[in-house]
Structure 1
Amino acid sequence: SSLDSSVISLDNVSELSGDSPEPNDLDSTNILSSARTQTEKDELLTTQTVEVKEKEVHKKGEKKRKRKVKKNQHKYKTHQREKKPKTRKGAPEEETQNESDENDGTLRTPSHVPIPVPPIEAPPLPSGCSTSDTTVSCINAKLTQIPPIADPDLTSLDLTGNSITAISDEAFNGVPNLEWIDLSKNNITSPGIGPHAFKILKKLKRLYLDGNMLVHIPSELPSTLEEIKINENHLHAIDEDGLQDLKNLVTLELEGNKLNEANVSPVAFYPLKSLSYLRLGRNKFRITPQGLPATLEELYLENNQIEEVSEICFNHTRNINVIVLKHNKLEEHRIAPLAWINQENLESIDLSYNKLYHVPSYLPKSLLHLVLIGNQIERIPGYVFGHMKPGLEYLYLSFNKLTDDGIDPVSFFGAYQSLRELFLDHNELKSVPFGIDQMRKLRFLRLNNNKIRTVPPERICRTHTSDDDVHENSEEEENEESRLEHVHLENNYINTRQLSPHSFSCIRSYCSVVLKPQKIK
């Protein structure tokens, strides 16, 4: 009968769809089917079958898309949300299963496709650290150890101002391409540094360890280093191997330690074939260190206890350009005559705050810059600058005991054509020294805080006694005479009302002459 055929057809639909028809659905379909022809029934069956298949395809596509999204999400999750591998595998399966249940109400077997395990990432940077491009900065971040960083692209690491006490052999394994490390102001000790801590850093150029607790220079430092700073530590020795293999080192700073000529090997600096800048200030040296490299250009030995400069200390440093010996215990007779007179490149010497009683003789021929502030100098010997070529340009004699008798008419001979700045302030001069009017290139003159009472017209500016003298001077000479730009004469005993109108006639701007205040006596 038609009823039987419709029942069979519906059973076939049920088999195709995978759904179990409920009794009510079956009855309503039978009633409709009884009124239809066999052709209509076949068309209806075909339509329903296609719809069921489309639904199945749609469901499978949707589930596949969602699984892909989940995989991507897990792949790019941060370290804080990552879990153990087993947990990561199970979680997407449960989510897929739940979605499947929600969509078609059927229990599905979890997919057997393996979910990729995300790559193992380094722990996140500690709080207080920041990163930009190829730099990580953890300044004052309260760190007690070097953070475990894994980034081959990192070139700069700043860990200043923490509480780090040690550097293990593995500390920099994750950052082998570092070029600059700053570990200043920590609590790092020499025993706390592994013997191979820096060995992996084949590109390291700058290493700063200022303000720690080191007693010796770390071993096995990379030969690529160009700059090392270990200021303000407790270094008390440099043996002959302490600086080995550092053939590219240009700058070495070891200020504020406990170094002296007894605990620094005479050949300690020998391996430094490129060294040009050496700072050894605030140590315990009594004589200048031996064995200085031939390449050295600048030497800083301020705030030591140096009493002597021997004639051999600079024998091999023919390129030296700057020597700073301020705040020591030098007397002029303890400076050997041949200590530096033959140096051809030495342009600047600072002997401030020593025990000098007169300007030292036998100064280098090439000297341009001489600082003698804060000594007990009473005299500038005649011709003391006479051998210098091209001539001294900057002479600072502030805070000494110079008197009128201590400056000869030829004291500045050899510097008349070269001096640019002359500081004679805070001395005991009662008059403007002779010879200043002949200093053709002088721009800055300090005579303040002396006992000067007057400024004769001819002492600072040249005067002409007749019209013939004026015509004899060329225009070029007149221009040279007007180069003085600043004159300080304050805190003397000058009565400004009695000054000659020609006293400062060579100075272009009168406001460049400082005359006030004056002392009253």
Structure 2
Amino acid sequence: MRSLLLNLLVCIFRFKVSDREKITFVNVTVQWYFYHELETIEQETVASFDNVKKIIPDEEPVSVTIHGSIPILYEKSVFEVPNLIALNLNDVGLKQIKPGAFGNLPHLKWLSLSGNKLTEIKSDTFADPNLSYLDLSFNSIILLQPGAFKNFNADIVILDNNKLTELPSGVFKNVTLGILSLNGNFLHTIAPKALSPIGLTRLDLSKNELEEIDPDVFDMQKLISLDLDDNSIKLLRPGDLINLPELSELRLAQNELKEIPDGVFNNTKLTYLNLNDNKIVKIASKAFDGM
């Protein structure tokens, strides 16, 4: 009997520990405001809850910021919150997002996860077509799995200051984006056509390790602005920009260019070009013809 009671207590203890381990929000402070009362911010410190919808009012469009330590977003942590418009989980020590953490958020437009400790974005993590703004800057992301942004349709995605070294094909499959920022990574390889079908108008690849402008990579028919400042580009060739028919702004400052040959900018719509702080020793007589 004593042995049976001891085993029962152990089982209960294990259940409670396991159950607690799957609670995303423990000892956190939640702030929110309604969109019709922007000057009124409500705040509450909560011992524990497993889903955002359990702590915020469910009546009107609301923006939520959570402070504290949130190492893992478990399944359904942010789930079925129809009035959630914006969610900020910045600087909360987030290391992992479990599959299904986000879902059924028909009005969520703004999601910021900046300043955390994420190292990878797994498939289907952000399979939410309603987001218009996603900020993943200042993490430690080294891998974007194919399908991480499946069916994504957003205005802006920010991946600045992570640890990405390559963009493989399939990462942005079935994705539509307006602005993509990858400033301050370690990119040296972008797969051909990896960025082609997503409809970008602005692309920031400054402060990376790219060495060339490959027309098979930079094949973006709607792109207006391209920032390649502070890379390692050594050569510009005629035809490099041939698949950027709408490009009007090109930034190539702080690279390793030594020569600007004839025909590089033929048939472009460039109105702004920055070549400062290169190593240019030769500019061909017709280098800027056709601009």
TM-score, normalising length from structure 1? Answer: 0.44
Q: Residues of 1 paired with 2:282 and 2:140: CA distance?
A: 41
Distance 1:214 1:170, change over 3 A: same
Q: Which has the higher contact order (CA 8 A, sep 6+)?
A: 2
1:236 and 2:142 correspond? yes
AA paired with 1:158? T
Distance 1:267 1:194, change over 3 A: closer
Structure 2 residue 128 is matched with structure 1 residue 222: yes
Give how far 1:196 is off.
1.9
* 1:25 equivalent in structure 2: none
Distance 1:327 1:166, change over 3 A: same
Percentage of pairs with the same residue: 24
Q: For 2:42 and 2:211, how far apart are their aligned partners in 1?
A: 43
SS in 2 for 1:158: strand
State the alpha-carbon separation in 2 of the partners of residues 227 and 220 from structure 1: 11
Alignment correspondent of 1:284? 186
Is 1:252–2:157 an aligned residue pair? yes
In the alignment, which residue of structure 2 is the partner of 1:200?
A: 104
Deviation at residue 282 of structure 1 after TM alignment: 1.5
Q: How does 1:126-275 map to 2 (within 5 A)?
A: 129=31, 131-132=33-34, 133=36, 148-152=54-58, 153-159=60-66, 162-172=68-78, 175-190=81-96, 193-217=97-121, 219=125, 221-246=127-152, 248-261=153-166, 264-272=167-175, 274-275=176-177
Offset, 1:372: 1.1
Residues 288 and 350 from structure 1, CA distance in 2 versus in 1: closer, same or farther, beyond 3 angstroms?
Answer: farther
- Give the partner amino acid of 1:241: G
Distance in 1 (CA, whole Å) between partners of 2:218 and 2:261 is 17
Partner of 1:306: 210
Alignment of 1:381-460 (within 5 A): 381-388=284-291
Give the distance between the partners of 2:31 and 2:69, measured in 1 at CA: 14
Query: Residues 320 and 360 (structure 1 numbering): CA distance in 2 closer, same or farther, change over 3 Å?
Result: farther
Tell me by how many angstroms 1:130 deviates: 5.9
> Is 1:350 aligned to residue 251 of structure 2?
yes
Residues 350 and 144 of structure 1, relative CA distance in 2, 3 Å threshold: farther
Q: Structure 1 residues 173, 366: CA separation in 2 closer, same or farther (over 3 Å shift)?
A: closer
Q: CA deviation at 1:336?
A: 3.8
Structure 1: 5+ residue runs without aligned partners? 1-125, 389-521
Q: Deviations for 1:442-480, whole angstroms, at most 9, x for unmatched residues?
A: xxxxxxxxxxxxxxxxxxxxxxxxxxxxxxxxxxxxxxx
Aligned-partner Cα distance in 1 for 2:30–2:110: 23
Q: Deviations over 1:237-265 (max 9, x none)?
A: 1222222121x22322112112122xx33
Contact 1:196 1:220 in 2 (8 A): no
Q: 1:342 to 1:387 in 2, by over 3 A?
A: farther
CA distance in 2, matches of 1:356, 1:215: 33
Structure 1 vs Structure 2 CA RMSD: 3.0
Pair 353,212 (structure 1): closer, same or farther in 2 beyond 3 Å? same
- Which of the pair has more CA radius of gyration? 1
In the TM superposition, what whole-angstrom CA distance separates every residue of 1:322-352 from its partner, at most 9, and x where no partner exists?
A: 11111111112xx342120453210111111
Residues 256-306 of structure 1, C-alpha deviations (whole Å, 9 max, x = no match): 112122xx331211211x212111121121144532133111111111111
Structure 2 unmatched runs, 5+: 1-27
Give the structure 2 partner of residue 321 of structure 1: 224
CA displacement 1:207-235 (0-9 Å, x = unmatched): 11111111222625422112211111121
TM-score relative to the length of structure 2: 0.76
User: CA contact under 8 A between 1:289 and 1:313: conserved in structure 2?
Assistant: yes
